[in-house]
């Protein structure tokens, strides 16, 4: 089962409590840890998290720097834990615009955890689904025959996502918004959508369980008729 999460509401969570936005991002890291730990218990084999979108570059430079520093330290702190628990970490999205220290942390984490088979954790950084689709479309001449499979392969190449690209089964968005915000548009063609008003820092194991339970109650027909 592939679950994707748009982790929204960190800044608003902090501001509503009289704290700086950075405090919300730090609390969000804790929510990531407990979600990653809980995911395999609910039958999740691939977990994709939207950490930083290509449009987030428009935020204040100080906030962007803080986000990258937080991501870098989290990758370094959690990579050994992931290795010991069979979790394979991958970062998808552009890398050429990221600070070199963050690029190094990404490579180190991916290399250390590449053998993990219990859970694949995909973190989207400087990611835009539309930009990725445009880039992949520009490379269609590299394959002998265009198909959904060949396009998926090209899409995985431009996003640094090695291996077979799995469709999203369940897409969760926290923070009260009800939109996809340019996240995994190709992979989410038939995803079940689940929205919650909880800010990401408040998202707990019970909330993940509730989302998965709701998903399992839905009938997925993929354009066909009920069984």
What is the set of active-site residues?
Answer: 8, 56
Q: Which residue's structure tokens are 């409590």? A: 17
Q: To 10 degrees, the CA torsion angle through 189, 177, 36, 122?
A: 40
């Amino acid at each position: 089962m592939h679950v994707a999460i748009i982790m929204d509401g960190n800044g608003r969570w902090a501001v509503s409590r009289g704290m700086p936005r950075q405090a919300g991002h730090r609390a969000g890291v804790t929510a990531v840890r407990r979600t990653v730990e809980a995911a395999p218990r609910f039958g999740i084999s691939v977990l994709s998290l939207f950490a930083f979108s290509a449009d987030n570059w428009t935020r204040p430079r100080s906030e962007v720097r803080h986000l990258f520093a937080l991501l870098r330290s989290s990758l370094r702190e959690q990579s050994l834990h992931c290795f010991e628990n069979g979790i394979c970490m991958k970062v998808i999205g552009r890398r050429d615009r990221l600070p070199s220290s963050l690029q190094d942390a990404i490579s180190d984490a991916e290399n250390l955890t590449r053998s993990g088979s219990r859970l694949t954790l995909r973190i989207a950084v400087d990611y835009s689904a539309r930009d990725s689709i445009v880039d992949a479309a520009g490379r269609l001449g590299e394959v002998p025959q265009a198909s959904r499979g060949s396009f998926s392969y090209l899409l995985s190449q431009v996003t640094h996502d090695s291996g077979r690209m799995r469709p999203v089964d369940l897409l969760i968005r926290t923070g009260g918004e009800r939109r996809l915000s340019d996240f995994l548009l190709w992979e989410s063609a038939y995803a079940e959508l689940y929205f919650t008003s909880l800010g990401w820092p408040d998202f707990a194991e019970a909330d993940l369980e509730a989302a998965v339970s709701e998903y399992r109650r839905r009938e997925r027909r993929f354009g066909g008729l009920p069984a």
